[in-house]
Structure 1
Amino acid sequence: MNRRNFVKFASGAAAGAALAGCAGNGGDGGSGTTSGSGEGDTTSSSSGGGTTDGSRPLEWIGPAWAVRDGQADKFTEMTDISVNVTTADIPTTQQQVLSGGQANMDMVSSDSPGAGAIVQDNDASIPVPVDELDNWNPDLVSDLFTNPTERLSHLGEQTETVLDLLWADDEQTEMLLPPHVYNFDAIGYNPTQVDDVSTWSALFDDQYSGQVAMGAVSSIAIPETLMHLLDNDMIDADIGQLNNPTEEQMDQAVDFLVSEKQAGQFRSTWTAYGTSVNLMASEEAILGDLWQPAAMDVRRSGTPCTYATMSEGVQGYRYWYGGIAPLRPGARDRNNLNEVYSLINDVHYGAWFPGYIQNWGYSVPHYPNQELVRTGSDESGEGMGPEYYDWAYEGESTYTPISETQFESEALFDPMEYEWSMEEGDSASDGIARDSGPIEERIDRIGFFQIWPDNSEYMLSRWSDFTSA
């Protein structure tokens, strides 16, 4: 094991919960166990199942937003092979894998800032050949993954970090971290008290002084702040540096955040998913840098919450992705490598998963495959159907007018509670549209791809100045 990089990614993160916050890129939708269960907490659950030649059950570890029981249950339903799911925050996932767990576990899930320690800097995972994934068709997968250099050309150097994490080779024949979920994080706000916002600068707007829920995760808050500072000509930088800033840029961001905190701009800071939900649901805060599942849970509490459509340019969305990687030597020694491939391909790149995971606002890489995802079916189940797909990916409104639903406003809409039509229909002129608009527009407005920066040790040392201010 590469001790230097283990410390870089894991033990440093535990000091101040920095990486834990990165890991919580969505929480658990309902309970928020990803961040809300406490640092170092793990829980296990097992789906039923049968036996084949490999060791049983399959062992899968990762944060709750990435390794939901529903995914394991679907795999068991399809294969009759049991899966034991261990949910843990990202630092705990890293520590368990890199301290020996890679030998007795089959697969790990993480997000883009947390995965590097496992799939890049330590020999703890096995690259996945695309030939083993029948549903990974480059022509039917978003170019966000197959050609980020062109699709995200406005991000400059940041596109190299996408390629470095995803692909094991320039020919794109093997993936280090096959993606299964991703999102474009933004600001959540209460539309009854806040006018439309579209930039991270809203977090620092004087008119919301004392009413902001500010995330206290260094690798998230610093780039969000840098986007504000850069767009307002307050620092010397370019967009290509935002996800891997210099020490000087980190200093400028932290110093600015300390001054804002001391001036009373923030109602509270948060690292736990549940805390962000409670601050907004109680209306102690009226806007914050929320994860989209948290915004949905605010709605489910009865408090309106809109997820912002971010601006083009420097102050765009914070993009991250989560993936699944076979562990070395566990998956091979336990004779489960093909089963891991099946979990990725048959469950997560199939017809059923896109609709399931959209309930928390997350998207899938193979959404361009409309014959499968929109109107198709396979062994995993039915696709999303035309109404749900067009709402989620095309920016279309629901077929049913809002006045004929149980929802008082769009800011209280819950996709889990709406009855989606599986038949073709017409969008209602006064139907309900998805927050943040069509996915291609969201991609156009990405401002930042989240990774764990090279200067992470310095970042964490400076971050203590903010948390103690």
Structure 2
Amino acid sequence: MAIGVAGALSCPNIIAKKTVTLKVMGTHVTLQEEIRKRAMKELGINIEFYPGGSAAVLQKASTNPESFDIYEQWSDSINILWQAGAIQPIEIERLKYWNEINDLTKKGRVSEKAKLGLGDAPNKILYTQKDGTLSSKESKMISFMPYVHNVDSFGYNTNFIAKGKAYETESWAWLLDEKHKGKVGLVNAPTIGIFDAALAAQARGLMKFKDMSNMTIKEIDQLFRILIERKKSGHFSGFWTSVPQSVDFMVKNRVHIESMFSPGVSGARGMGVPVEYAAPKEGYRAWHGVMCLSSKSKGHQKEAAYKYMNWWLSGWAGAFIARQGYYISNAERSRELLAADEWGYWYDGKVATRDLKGTDGKISVTKGSLRNGGSYQERFSNIAIWNTVMDNYDYSLDKWYEFLNS
């Protein structure tokens, strides 16, 4: 035993060499077990995922940057994280696939003809400046690495609600339609649910906003008077905090219509519920995934974080999340890992030529189906608003919890 100890002490490198463990905090949207296992296998590092509801993980990350190395959520979290000093700038030159990332992030739209959308288009908060601000002015440092993104709306069960027409009859107003009283769900995320509700209230003709992405105190008060009145009358049947919970609401018939994310729609369909993901005539609520580096990350942890960020854009992960209806910022690198008909359905808006499986291995798209809303270009050309943190965020947060507790 003494010889073994002496030998170990004379070879400090044996003791020093240990596998790095990377702590990744975020939501269930991207923190999936298949992704974690694949990344660990290919990178040779330990990775621990800490998923949770969007509001809870944002609160933890913004107050305790030591709790994560990488933070994955949505662009509306950036201003909060940046102002809290919870994240540090990312060096563009260390991102292997930066030149492949499309114009949605860098310019705010997929084409010159596309609607920019209200609020924090990701390019507005992408680049870090020497004075500590974030803007669209190009620099060598960025606040987040662009990766997963999509446009969100609501899902509805066609067993109970007749299928509408994309961009023509489907409307955010349906969420506040009395016909669906008692069977309506909203996402319980203050920076997201408020816009679903606002889009619904305006589409229903209940109120108008001067700038929905930056509501005044008076507008916030008016919106929540409407919502609280509806809640007290039994209009809402639940408020979900995670994708699995949104699936559960649909599968158990707790709701007929609700705010949904694409994986939730895919999951519900895989369990036999005919959920249609609406293409509202008013436009989508868009979001962009952000991968952020903790302000406390350094040394081997920081090196591992950059490896993980580059891995996410290397192809496999982009193909994986395409099968749950999400897009990756450098899609061409993932194209060869998707079958031609998968690419056709998910990216090009073509009819499915066979049954397609989701990330859970269950059939989520049946042969002959057409993705509602069309192609990637068409969907991202119809953005009403981006997930955004408003100037009156703190006030809206108080009103949101007043609404939940009413």
Sort the TM-score into its range (normalised by shorter chain). 0.7 to 0.9
Q: Structure 1 residue 145 and structure 2 residue 105: aligned?
A: yes
| C-alpha displacement of 1:90 | 4.0
Q: In 2, distance between residues paired with 1:276 and 1:156?
A: 26
Partner of 1:249: 219
Residues 61 and 212 of structure 1, relative CA distance in 2, 3 Å threshold: closer
C-alpha contact 1:191 1:306 (8 A) present in aligned 2: yes
Alignment-mate amino acid for residue 337 of structure 1: K
2:312 corresponds to 1:348: yes
Deviation at 1:435, TM superposition (A): 3.4
How far does residue 110 in structure 1 lie from its aligned partner after superposition? 2.3
CA distance in 2, matches of 1:166, 1:52: 37
Question: What is the RMSD computed on CA atoms of the aligned residues?
Answer: 3.1
- For the Cα contact (< 8 Å) 1:188–1:307, is it kept in 2? yes
Q: 1:165 is matched with which residue?
A: 125
Q: Does 1:461 align with 2:395?
A: no
Aligned-partner SS, 1:324: strand
Q: Is the 8 A contact 1:144 1:151 kept in 2?
A: no
Any residues of structure 2 matched to 1:205-244 within 5 Å, and which? 205-231=177-203, 234-238=206-210, 241-244=211-214
Write the letter of the residue equivalent to 1:448.
I
What's the secondary structure of 1:256's corresponding residue? helix
8 Å contact 1:53–1:335 — kept in the other structure? no
1:336 paired with 2:301, answer: yes
Which protein has the bigger strand share? 2
Give the alignment partner of residue 154 of structure 2, picking from 163, 173, 187.
187
Classify the secondary structure of the residue corresponding to 1:336. Answer: helix
Partner of 2:351: 397
Report 1:56-71 matches (<5 A). 56-71=20-35
Stretches of structure 2 that go unaligned for 5 or more consecutive residues are 1-13, 130-136, 165-169
In the TM superposition, residue 214 of structure 1 has moved relative to its aligned partner by 3.2
Contact 1:55–1:336 under 8 Å retained in 2: no
Q: CA separation of 1:464/1:207 partners in 2, compared to 1, >3 Å: closer, same or farther?
A: same
SS of equivalent residue, structure 2 residue 25: strand
Give the equivalent residue in structure 2 for 1:450: 387
Match of 1:178 in 2: 145
When structure 1 is superposed on structure 2, of 186-195 and 165-174 the one drifting more is 165-174
The corresponding residue for 2:334 is: 373
Aligned to 1:9: none
What pairs up with 1:31-50 in 2 under 5 angstroms?
none
Aligned mates of 1:390, 1:177 — CA distance in 2: 29
Report the CA distance between 1:145 and its aligned residue.
0.5
Aligned equivalent of 2:340: 386
Instruction: Check 1:460–1:182 CA distance in 2 against 1; reply closer, same or farther (3 A cut).
Output: same
Which residue of 373, 376, 389 corresponds with 1:439?
376
> Residue 128 of structure 2 aligns to a residue in which SS?
coil
Contact 2:23 2:70 in 1 (8 A): yes
Offset at residue 304 of structure 1 (A): 1.4
Instruction: Report the alpha carbon displacement of residue 307 of structure 1 after superposing the two structures with TM.
Output: 0.9
How far did 1:153 drift?
Answer: 6.7
Q: How far, CA to CA, are the matches of 1:254 and 1:339 in structure 2? A: 44
The one-letter amino acid paired with 1:226 is A
Distance in 1 between the 2:217 and 2:114 partners? 25
Corresponding residue number in structure 2 for 1:203? 175
- Alignment-derived partner of residue 73 in structure 1: 37
| 2:21 maps to amino acid | P
Secondary structure in structure 1 of the residue aligned to 2:83: coil
Change in 2 beyond 3 A, CA 1:93/1:259: closer
Counterpart position of 2:74: 111
- The structure whose Rg is larger is 2
Deviations 1:143-177 (A, max 9, x none): 21111167587446525x53343222411432211
Q: Distance in 1 between matches of 2:16 and 2:58?
A: 29
Deviation for aligned residue 1:274: 4.0
CA distance in 2, matches of 1:465, 1:100: 26
Q: Kindly tell me: are residues 285 and 327 of structure 1, through their superposed partners in 2, closer, same or farther at Cα, counting changes over 3 Å?
A: closer
What's the secondary structure of 1:343's corresponding residue? Answer: helix
1:279 corresponds to = 249
Deviations 1:267-324 (A, max 9, x none): 344445444323321223211112222222222222211111222xxx3211112222
State the distance in 2 between where 1:324 and 1:51 align.
32
Kindly state the Cα deviation for residue 352 of structure 1 after the two structures are TM-superposed: 1.0
2:280 to 310, 317, 324: 310
> CA shift at 1:201, angstroms?
0.2
Q: 1:267 to 1:152 in 2, by over 3 A?
A: farther
* Distance (whole Å) between structure 2 residues aligned to residue 87 and residue 307 of structure 1: 24
1:99-138 correspondence runs (5 A): 99-102=63-66, 105-118=68-81, 120-137=82-99
After superposition, the Cα gap between the structure-2 partners of 1:152 and 1:132, relative to the gap in structure 1 and judged at 3 Å, is farther
Q: 1:189-240: CA deviations, max 9, x gaps?
A: 11122123421101112222332223344333322232234345543434xx
**2:294 equivalent to 1:327:** yes
CA distance in 2, matches of 1:58, 1:283: 39
The equivalent position to 1:291 in structure 2, one of 235, 258, 261, is: 261
Aligned residue pairs, count: 379
For residues 352 and 384 of structure 2, the distance between their equivalents in structure 1, rounded to whole angstroms, comes to: 29
- Structure 1 residue 127: Cα displacement: 1.6
Paired with 1:270 and 1:373, the residues of 2 have a C-alpha distance of 31
Alignment partner, residue 4 of structure 2: none
